[in-house]
Structure 1
Amino acid sequence: MPLTPARHRLAGLLLALVCLPALAADPLPLRVGGDPNYRPFHYQAEDGSPQGFDVAVMQAIARERGLAPRFEFGEWGRMLDRLEHGGVDVVPMFVSEDRAMRFRFSRPFLRRHHVLYGRRGQQVGSPDQLAGRRVAVQFGGMAWEWLINEQADAVLRPMNDEAAALSAVAAGSADFALLPSDIAERALAAGGLGDVQAVGPPWLERNYAFGVNPARPELVPEIDAGLQAIEASGELARLQQQWLQPAPAKAGKGRPLPVWLPVVPVALVLLGAMVFLARRHAAAGRD
């Protein structure tokens, strides 16, 4: 039966309704950069998969806003350059005045700070006390930028891994390490760093947010809306509990218990019974 103009319009409308869900479901690609060794916030697992709190937060945002994140990891200083020049779209980071001139930022989703670590017994109250001292920091990181801006005149020891800054202090190749306290405390709890401990007050308290490529300003309201949604649902708090709760202290390796130790209580009971029976028998003999 030939189609009338009305039937043509109806068929077209039905076709559009069938195709619309498929078109709407097509997610927007999003390139998310990060550091491969920034545990527990974002890092590359042994199998190459992206892991960490920041990764989980971005995946939750992506579900809310119809985004398709692809995670790319690399050396931190180069990753910031890639973000500025469009090599990636988003990178989670501390917010600072210098960075605000290079990137746009989402609403913050954490508040974090840095702490100075050194050998037991040392105390440092201000950056000027670091003049001439070797301070291990992540190259291009927040501590690196801050010490340069503060003109602390410290001898900076650049590291590609935040936790490796603590190892430099333990090994004696640096006098101090300045890094985020949450990362440092997890590394210290894992053990093997000798007498390294916090030697100063909290420094560099800053907001933590998603830095956005300045050529992609439309991403900021998308990320903000996603953050607001997962905060209201309680998912953000659950992810914080899952990824950022303090790591349990590593149990020290004591001497193994002797294999005979569990037998001691039984032996003592048997010995007591034997003594009791012997005394009873002796008393009966006298009677």
Structure 2
Amino acid sequence: MNVSSIMTKNVIAATLPTTRADVLRLMVKYKKTGLPVVDEEGRVLGIVTRKDFFSHPQEEQVAIVMRWDPPKVSPSTAVERAAKIMVENNARRLPVVKNGKLVGILTPTDFLKVVVKRKIDEPVERYMEQQCFTIFKLTPANVAAKMINLSGVFAMPVLDEHGEICGMITDRDLFNIEYLRESISLTKLGISEDEDEWSWEGLRNVMNLYFQEAKVHLPKEPVEKFMNKDVVTVFRKKPLWEAAEIMLKRDFDQLPVVDVHDELLSILYDIRVVRSLVPP
């Protein structure tokens, strides 16, 4: 199996020269968290993600923020080889190029489908993280945002007073429309006021940037008011393909891993699942 059979076509890309505001508008409109950057002839120059902007909240020039010359693959590259490149470079986006031009892109989601199709049955625990960052349910939302930005961990299990998992929180969850919509001026943020040009789901992907710039303020309400209470976990002995299937169905890029007593052990990230496709 080669890349052409699993890649995503019709790629949304940013074209240099461009501005931060223009890239953010693309991310919001198309609900993307990262984009390939190309020149006017469609040649891949780099990758820019929302996390790149979060790391440089005062920088307006995309050419400075983006990561230049990312690893690339061709449509004829074997899936296993592409998985190896993604894992070794910790790259969540692999541009696919043909004759020097962008023709597709690979993300962990594309590889998860292969894991499910091949019914890879290694146990989840073999691929889960060794460390797991958690947060207490009464932590104020504004403090939680600081913790997320300082740690670089954008999704955390939430624990109750008994140390048991009671929810999941991401930076996107913190920017809840019920709390923030009335106080946000899209024009001030540099995003069109036209409802057809944006969605709240897309806007939440980049709202953390405006929080860091102090253009948006989070309430001091506890995390438990923002967290996702519908917690989906996976047993550590479950076959990996079943975890991948859950991720695909629920549009998750991580799953908390539990033991036989439902005690939290760690977390499984989608890019770790991709490792199962890399030949030994």
TM range (shorter): under 0.3
Normalised by the length of structure 2, the TM-score is: 0.24
Higher strand fraction: Structure 1 or Structure 2?
A: 1
Normalised by the length of structure 1, the TM-score is: 0.24
Higher helix fraction: Structure 1 or Structure 2?
A: 1
